[in-house]
Chains A and B, each alone.
Chain A
Amino acid sequence: MVHQHFMLVPSLTVVENVILGMEPTVNGVLLNTERMLRDVADSCKRYKLDVDIEAPIYQLSVGVQQRVEILKALYRGADVLILDEPTSVLTPGETEELFNAVRELKADGKTVIFISHKLREVLAICDRITVLKRGKVVGTVLAWETSEGQLAEMMVGREIVYEFTKKAECGLEPVLTLESLECLSDRGIPAIRGLNLDLCGSEILGVAGVEGNGQTELVEAVMGLRDLTGGTVKLDGQDITGTPPRARIQMGVSHIPEDRYKRAIVPDFSVLQNLILGSQRDRFTRNGVSIDFAEASQFSTNMINDYQIATPGPETLIRYLSGGNQQRVVVAREFSRDPKVVIAAQPTRGLDVGATEYVRRKLVEMRDGGAGVLLISADLDEIWALSDRVAVIYEGRIVAVKDVDETDQQEIGLLMAGGGIG
């Protein structure tokens, strides 16, 4: 079993991690270091897993750490490998390397169970595909006899629409204006360096970029969570630079954070308590002192119905809900404030097909209702499915803004990698 979240000891080396629990010994007391090294090196060679076996884990990239997890399983003589969402942490290049390793294992006679919600990957690597829904098997199909469409339909139970109508026109005045924005990363080095961007009402503006080019800092700067070192933020033409997060929320800026567990929800709060988070001083109090639980309870019931949140009830702790349902709670909360601007950072990351479609549809609804939506996503397909315009962020600057109809993914991909700039 290779878990989605790795079970490695960061300060130990690859070899030490692999043998942990089945240490070869001399006389049952001392570690047989030579055999450890030889055995693990043999495994690497045999399955063509390229790993520096004497490096400590914390120095290795996520992709390599995953290979160590696979090595661990193989070292224990596993014939059946279960990979749980193995690509969710990998870059496209690392994913390709993983697939090669999996093919190698298959050729060696091993059985691999590959758990994923990414249809394209399942089709690329698997021979047979079983679809699970709410703990039941919907069906098993052969990979070369099926399609993304059929699989999605099996998963959701109906046809899935990924195509949304686009709107080309833009309001006269932008709802959100960022001028010469500058701020630092957590490590104190410049992350946003003179960024300019206009977001109009009634549009979805996709921000494409390789992760780590300032997306996180951009979102936090817009929300007032990160201090600026320069530049201005305007909402509806009004300068809101330096106003605290609460004022921005009240003025109509909503935020779907990229890191759900860290920024969006309080895991040990109930669904109800998470739904009122941020509005506890406005909508959910009548006297400014105590929370109006009658109103909160009514609101939660409505949201659970409207947004089809699968939960035993409003009092259930949100940590017990699936990721998709947690995200529905976040979306319900943010959109119920009737925002002018929606900052959606990786809004469908880690969600299943049904929840992904749902969140996307809601984003389009917000746009059609007049809101400006800033969609920050690492997934070009998502940007293409939703955006009216696409901006490319590279090293803390917006290097291009294009109409989606006038560009293609190759051009944007090149810009994301820092190519094609004067």
Chain B
Amino acid sequence: MFSAETAVAILIAFIVGAAVLAITGYSPLDAYVSMASGAFGSSYGVGQTLTQATPIVFTSIAFLIGLKAGLFNIGIEGQFLMGAMGATLAGIYLDGLPWVIHVPMTIMVGMIAGAFWALILLSYVATHFTSYLVNYPFKAPGWVAQSVKISGSAELPRILPPTQLSAAIFVAVMITAASTYFLQKTIIGYELRATGLNPSAAENAGISIDRSILVSMALSGAVAGLGGACEIMGIHRRFIQGFSPGYGWDGLAVALVGGLNPVGSFFASVLFGALRNGGMIMTRATGVPLDIVNILQALVIMFVAAPKLIRALLRREQ
């Protein structure tokens, strides 16, 4: 699941977090117990934890696919939003299709939107662009900046009511398996990694560096777009301005916590999902402010990811 190094780093993060709790006058034990039982203690808790984890699975895998080819894709957030917007529009306007066609079509449009956005490198604009779309041309009647609902045939079903967990989690599992296979077993995955690890040798072996980078960028964007699409189709069923609290940015850190491989990213996403979901329960039960969750996340990233990030960047420099 995690390497020993990572497991120790996570442990240290929680110990330091306990110190912060103790200093501020809360009981670390009470806080952690209520957080853990909130995140994993009931089927409701598990469902909500996985719901929180799902989008980060996509964004973290999207980030690592880029990094494998030596590419630092910092535009994941934008590609995620564009995927969500593409899926929303496909979900609304491709009306009248049976769901067996409508769901895959909607997913495809989301992926293409993400990939396209990755290639034109306009990530920062995406937040404003999608906001514009739901405030003006595609705004639903009413006060909220959101689109109308997508049609029922484009929805991913909820699988554990009353939680928000949807079939998107299955798509996340599939993308984890597929990207593992892609990186380890396919020719293009092999060529991407060769390009990322030593572009000169890859070039010498007849691999086109430009093509490798283009492909990894497009795939990275497609996976981010898929994540956005699934979030709309499974959870919100419409595009609501500001629905992403920064899943794209979380993906960057989570990929590093997960040791830059898809399976590790999946479990690191669950950890972050559990922190978020368990944190909310903890706040309600013990009165510990929710900020401790941000502190814990920051500590995990600091202890696990920072050394890896620095190493990855140094290797790219060489």
From the candidates B197, B200, B203, B204, name the one contacting A268 in the complex (CB within 8 A): B197
Query: Does B206 contact A289, Cβ atoms closer than 8 Å?
Result: no
Q: Min CB distance, A68 to chain B, in Å? A: 24
Q: Min CB distance, A348 to chain B, in Å? A: 19
The residue of chain B having its C-beta at the shortest distance from the C-beta of A260 within the complex is B201
Q: What A residues does B206 contact at CB under 8 A?
A: 244-250, 278
Q: What B residues does A205 contact at CB under 8 A?
A: none
* Residue A262 interfacial (CB < 8 Å): yes
Query: Does B194 contact A245, Cβ atoms closer than 8 Å?
Result: no
Task: Given A288-B187, A289-B187, A293-B185, answer yes or no on A266-B204 (Cβ-Cβ < 8 Å).
Answer: no
Q: Min CB distance, A251 to chain B, in Å? A: 11
Q: Return the CB mask of A242-278 against B: 1 if under 8 Å, else 0.
A: 0011111110000101000011111111000100011
Give 15 pairs: A residue, B residue, CB < 8 Å, sorted on A.
Answer: A245-B203, A245-B204, A245-B206, A255-B204, A262-B200, A263-B201, A265-B198, A269-B194, A273-B190, A278-B205, A280-B190, A280-B191, A289-B187, A290-B186, A291-B187
Q: Min CB distance, A333 to chain B, in Å? A: 9
Query: Does A262 contact B187, Cβ atoms closer than 8 Å?
Result: no
**Considering the chains assembled together, what is the distance between the CA atoms of A268 and B190 in angstroms?**
12
Query: Does A246 contact B207, Cβ atoms closer than 8 Å?
Result: yes
Task: Given A262-B200, A266-B197, A268-B197, answer yes or no on A249-B190 (Cβ-Cβ < 8 Å).
Answer: no
Q: Min CB distance, B147 to chain A, in Å? A: 38
Q: Min CB distance, B155 to chain A, in Å? A: 32
Q: What B residues does A265 contact at CB under 8 A?
A: 198, 201
Query: Does A277 contact B186, Cβ atoms closer than 8 Å?
Result: no
* Residue A41 interfacial (CB < 8 Å): no
**Considering the chains assembled together, what is the distance between the CA atoms of A281 and B207 in angstroms?**
10
B191, B197, B201, B208: most-surrounded residue (chain A CB, <10 A): B201
Q: What B residues does A277 contact at CB under 8 A?
A: 194, 201-202, 205
A residues bordering B, Cβ < 8 Å?
Answer: 223, 225, 244-250, 255, 257, 262-269, 273, 277-278, 280-281, 285, 288-291, 293
Q: Return the CB mask of B191-233 against A: 1 if under 8 Å, else 0.
A: 1011001101111111110000000000000000000000000
From the candidates B187, B194, B203, name the one contacting A281 in the complex (CB within 8 A): B187
The residue of chain A having its C-beta at the shortest distance from the C-beta of B182 within the complex is A290
Q: What A residues does B204 contact at CB under 8 A?
A: 223, 225, 245, 255, 257, 263-264, 278
**Considering the chains assembled together, what is the distance between the CA atoms of A116 and B156 in angstroms?**
68
**Considering the chains assembled together, what is the distance between the CA atoms of A49 and B207 in angstroms?**
48
Query: Does A291 contact B186, Cβ atoms closer than 8 Å?
Result: yes
Query: Does A266 contact B203, Cβ atoms closer than 8 Å?
Result: no
Q: What B residues does A288 contact at CB under 8 A?
A: 187
Q: Other CB < 8 Å A-B pairs besides A245-B206, A293-B185, 20 of them?
A: A225-B203, A246-B206, A248-B206, A255-B204, A262-B198, A264-B201, A265-B198, A266-B194, A266-B198, A266-B201, A268-B198, A269-B194, A273-B190, A277-B201, A277-B202, A278-B206, A280-B190, A289-B186, A290-B185, A290-B187
Q: What B residues does A245 contact at CB under 8 A?
A: 203-206
The residue of chain B having its C-beta at the shortest distance from the C-beta of A255 within the complex is B204
Q: What A residues does B198 contact at CB under 8 A?
A: 262, 265-268
The residue of chain A having its C-beta at the shortest distance from the C-beta of B202 within the complex is A266
The residue of chain A having its C-beta at the shortest distance from the C-beta of B198 within the complex is A266
Q: Min CB distance, B184 to chain A, in Å? A: 9
**Considering the chains assembled together, what is the distance between the CA atoms of A268 and B198 in angstroms?**
9
The residue of chain A having its C-beta at the shortest distance from the C-beta of B194 within the complex is A266
Q: What B residues does A255 contact at CB under 8 A?
A: 204
Q: What A residues does B190 contact at CB under 8 A?
A: 273, 280, 291
Q: What B residues does A246 contact at CB under 8 A?
A: 206-208
Query: Does B185 contact A291, Cβ atoms closer than 8 Å?
Result: yes
**Considering the chains assembled together, what is the distance between the CA atoms of A245 and B206 in angstroms?**
5
Q: What B residues does A291 contact at CB under 8 A?
A: 185-187, 190
